[in-house]
Chain A
Amino acid sequence: MSVKREDFKILSETRFEPKAIERGYAMRTMHVDVGSGAFTEKPVSEDMKKRFTGGKGFGLKLLWDAVRPTTKWNDPENEIVIGMGPICGNTNYPGSGKSLVVSISPLTGIPIDSNVGGYFGPYFKFGGWDALELQGKAVKDVVLFFDANEGQVQMLEAPAALGVDTHVLAEELTVAFSASEAERQNVSVVSAGSAAEHSFIGLLNFSLWDKRRGGVRVKQAGRGGIGTVLRDKRIKALVVRYKGVVQDSNKAADPALVQRTGLKLHREIIKNDDKQCKMRRQGTAHLMEVMNDYDLLPTNNHKYGRHEKGNELASWVWEKYFTQGLPDGCWFGCTMACAHAVDGFELKTGPYKGHKVCVDGPEYETAAGCGSNLGVFDPEGVLEINFYCDTYGVDTISFGTITSFLMECQELGVLNRERTDGIDLSWGNWKGACEVLHSMSRGERFGTLAGKGVKFLAGHFAKEYGADPQLMKDIALHGKGLEQSEYISKESLAQQGGYYMTNKGPQHDEAWLIFMDMVNNRIPTFENKAEALHYFPMFRTWFGLQGLCKLPWNDVEPADNAKWEEPNKVPEHVQNYCDMYTAITGEKLDPPGLIRQSERVYNFQRAFNVRMGKGHRVDDWPPYRAMGPVLEDEYLAREERYDKQMKEKIGVDPAGKKLAEKMRITREFRTRQYESLLDAVFKRRGWTMDGCPTPGHLKDIGMDLPEVLEVVNARIAGEA
Chain B
Amino acid sequence: MIKYLKTDDSKCVGCMTCTAVCSRLYFKQDNPARSAIQVLDRGNNEFHLIACDQECRKCVDECPVQAIRVTQAGVVMIDRKLCVGCLACVAVCPIGAMRYYPGDSSPFKCVACGACAKECPKGALEIVKKEEGARA
Contacts from A to B (Cβ < 8 Å): 91-92, 185, 211-212, 245-248, 255-256, 259-260, 262-263, 266-267, 269-270, 326-327, 329, 332-335
Which residue of the partner chain, among A91, A212, A260, A270, contacts B86 with CB atoms under 8 Å? A91
Within the assembled complex, what's the spacing in Å between the Cα atoms of A386 and B4? 46
Which A-B residue pairs are the 9 nearest by beta carbons? A247-B85, A333-B86, A266-B91, A256-B102, A91-B86, A247-B105, A256-B103, A332-B64, A91-B84
Known: A91-B85, A248-B85; 8 extra A-B contacts, CB below 8 A, are: A246-B105, A247-B106, A259-B100, A263-B90, A263-B91, A327-B62, A333-B64, A333-B86
A260 with B102, Cβ < 8 A, contacts A333-B64, A335-B62 known: yes
User: Across the interface, do A248 and B105 meet the contact criterion of CB distance under 8 Å?
Assistant: yes
Which applies to chain A's interface (DSSP): helix, strand, loop or mixed? loop
User: Across the interface, do B87 and A266 meet the contact criterion of CB distance under 8 Å?
Assistant: yes
Which chain A residues lie closer than 8 Å to B84 at the CB level?
91, 245-247, 332-333
> Would you call B65 an interface residue if the criterion is a C-beta within 8 Å of the partner chain's C-beta atoms?
yes
Can you give 8 contacting A-B residue pairs, CB < 8 Å? A212-B66, A245-B84, A247-B85, A262-B87, A263-B90, A266-B91, A267-B91, A327-B62
Which residue of the partner chain, among B62, B66, B92, B103, contacts A255 with CB atoms under 8 Å? B103
A266 with B90, Cβ < 8 A, contacts A211-B65, A259-B100, A329-B64 known: yes
> Would you call B15 an interface residue if the criterion is a C-beta within 8 Å of the partner chain's C-beta atoms?
no
Which chain B residues lie closer than 8 Å to A333 at the CB level?
64, 84, 86-88
Which chain B residues lie closer than 8 Å to A248 at the CB level?
85, 105
> Would you call B61 an interface residue if the criterion is a C-beta within 8 Å of the partner chain's C-beta atoms?
yes
Which applies to chain B's interface (DSSP): helix, strand, loop or mixed? loop
User: Across the interface, do A92 and B85 meet the contact criterion of CB distance under 8 Å?
Assistant: yes
Within the assembled complex, what's the spacing in Å between the Cα atoms of A263 and B102? 11
Within the assembled complex, what's the spacing in Å between the Cα atoms of A483 and B94? 45
User: Across the interface, do A92 and B64 meet the contact criterion of CB distance under 8 Å?
Assistant: no
Q: How far is the CB of A426 from chain B (nearest CB, A)?
A: 44
User: Across the interface, do A266 and B102 meet the contact criterion of CB distance under 8 Å?
Assistant: no
Which chain B residues lie closer than 8 Å to A212 at the CB level?
66
Contact flags (1/0) for B103-131 with A, using CB distance below 8 Å? 11110000000000000000000000000
* A326 to chain B: closest residue by CB: B61
* A182 to chain B: closest residue by CB: B82
Within the assembled complex, what's the spacing in Å between the Cα atoms of A262 and B87? 8
Q: How far is the CB of B33 from chain A (nearest CB, A)?
A: 12
User: Across the interface, do B65 and A332 meet the contact criterion of CB distance under 8 Å?
Assistant: yes
* Chain A CB within 10 A, most for which of B88, B92, B105: B88
* B85 to chain A: closest residue by CB: A247
Which chain B residues lie closer than 8 Å to A266 at the CB level?
86-88, 90-92
* A334 to chain B: closest residue by CB: B64
| Chain B contact patch, size range | 20 to 34
Q: How far is the CB of B135 from chain A (nearest CB, A)?
A: 13
Q: How far is the CB of A512 from chain B (nearest CB, A)?
A: 27
User: Across the interface, do A327 and B91 meet the contact criterion of CB distance under 8 Å?
Assistant: no
Which chain A residues lie closer than 8 Å to B61 at the CB level?
326-327
Q: How far is the CB of A499 from chain B (nearest CB, A)?
A: 34
Within the assembled complex, what's the spacing in Å between the Cα atoms of A6 and B117? 56
User: Across the interface, do B87 and A211 meet the contact criterion of CB distance under 8 Å?
Assistant: no
Q: How far is the CB of B91 from chain A (nearest CB, A)?
A: 3
Which chain B residues lie closer than 8 Å to A327 at the CB level?
61-62, 64, 88
Which chain A residues lie closer than 8 Å to B64 at the CB level?
327, 329, 332-334
* A208 to chain B: closest residue by CB: B64
User: Across the interface, do B86 and A92 meet the contact criterion of CB distance under 8 Å?
Assistant: yes
Q: How far is the CB of A430 from chain B (nearest CB, A)?
A: 34
Within the assembled complex, what's the spacing in Å between the Cα atoms of A270 and B86? 14
* B60 to chain A: closest residue by CB: A326
Within the assembled complex, what's the spacing in Å between the Cα atoms of A92 and B89? 11
User: Across the interface, do B62 and A259 meet the contact criterion of CB distance under 8 Å?
Assistant: no
User: Across the interface, do A332 and B86 meet the contact criterion of CB distance under 8 Å?
Assistant: yes
Which chain A residues lie closer than 8 Å to B88 at the CB level?
266, 327, 333, 335
* Chain B CB within 10 A, most for which of A212, A259, A270, A329: A259
Within the assembled complex, what's the spacing in Å between the Cα atoms of A327 and B105? 22
Which chain B residues lie closer than 8 Å to A91 at the CB level?
84-86
Which chain A residues lie closer than 8 Å to B100 at the CB level?
259, 263
* B62 to chain A: closest residue by CB: A327
Within the assembled complex, what's the spacing in Å between the Cα atoms of A256 and B103? 5
Within 8 A of A (CB), among B53-104: 61-62, 64-66, 83-88, 90-92, 100, 102-104
User: Across the interface, do B103 and A259 meet the contact criterion of CB distance under 8 Å?
Assistant: yes
Which chain A residues lie closer than 8 Å to B65 at the CB level?
185, 211, 332
User: Across the interface, do A92 and B92 meet the contact criterion of CB distance under 8 Å?
Assistant: no
* A328 to chain B: closest residue by CB: B64
Which chain A residues lie closer than 8 Å to B86 at the CB level?
91-92, 247, 262, 266, 332-333
Q: How far is the CB of B117 from chain A (nearest CB, A)?
A: 29
A263 with B66, Cβ < 8 A, contacts A256-B102, A270-B92, A327-B61 known: no
Q: How far is the CB of A96 from chain B (nearest CB, A)?
A: 9
Which chain B residues lie closer than 8 Å to A92 at the CB level?
85-87
Q: How far is the CB of B64 from chain A (nearest CB, A)?
A: 5
Within the assembled complex, what's the spacing in Å between the Cα atoms of A457 and B65? 46
* B91 to chain A: closest residue by CB: A266
Which chain A residues lie closer than 8 Å to B91 at the CB level?
263, 266-267, 269-270, 335
Q: How far is the CB of A479 from chain B (nearest CB, A)?
A: 37
* B90 to chain A: closest residue by CB: A263
